Amino acid sequence: ERKEKVNKLLKVVAEGIDKLFNSVSYKKYLLTLSRFHSYSANNVLLIALQRPQSTALAGYNSWTQKFRRQVRAGEKGISILAPCIDSETGGMTYRIVYVFDIDQTEGEMIPELIIQQNIDLTVSQRSSALFKSIIRSATACSLRASLLF
């Protein structure tokens, strides 16, 4: 069941890659990438597809313990993939984890500097790494990606 859910999410990534080069989708992806440069290309795509307006993300425990903020009741987390070791095969696999945007939380104020660090990267700083990251991620997930020029 877990493997089926992971495969379903990987299929979402594959479909997202196909749609990525649509100009509107591509701009949305690049904007999300500029905010979340430390996330993998697959996870940036998942964030862009599920909650493109996000500005600062963390898991539930990070919001409560590190930032003293609480995720509001009823908020739906953003599904992303976290690498892990398969207990049966010892190989790398993925599990689904959930992150929440700051807009989904309430509590202590967070210094603007922390939030701004997620927003300040420009597209030009990331564009060459973007294509390498997409291809690397697609290859790692056994997906095919083709670039049309």
Per DSSP, which regions of the chain are E strands?
Answer: 57-59, 69-71, 78-85, 92-101, 105-107
Q: Look at 2-6, 9-13, 26-30, 94-98 and tell me which has the smallest mean pLDDT.
A: 26-30
What is the average pLDDT across 73-85? 96
Percentage of the chain with pLDDT > 90? 45
> What is residue 119's predicted lDDT score, i.e. its pLDDT?
42
What is the average pLDDT across 91-119? 81
pLDDT at 147 over 70: no
What is the average pLDDT across 88-100? 94
Structure confidence by residue, pLDDT tens digits, 9-38: 988 888 887 776 666 778 888 888 888 989
Q: Contact at 8 Å (CB) between 69 and 108? A: yes
Question: Tell me, what amino acid is at 58?
Answer: A
As a whole number of angstroms, the distance between CA 71 and CA 54 comes to 14
> What is residue 130's predicted lDDT score, i.e. its pLDDT?
56
> What is residue 145's predicted lDDT score, i.e. its pLDDT?
40
0.85 cut: is pTM over it?
Answer: no
> What is residue 19's predicted lDDT score, i.e. its pLDDT?
75
The most confident of the ranges 118-122, 136-140, 141-145 is 136-140
As a whole number of angstroms, the distance between CA 35 and CA 53 comes to 10
What is the average pLDDT across 111-131? 49
Half-sphere exposure of 115 (CA within 13 A, CB side): 11
Structure confidence by residue, pLDDT tens digits, 100-109: 999 999 998 8
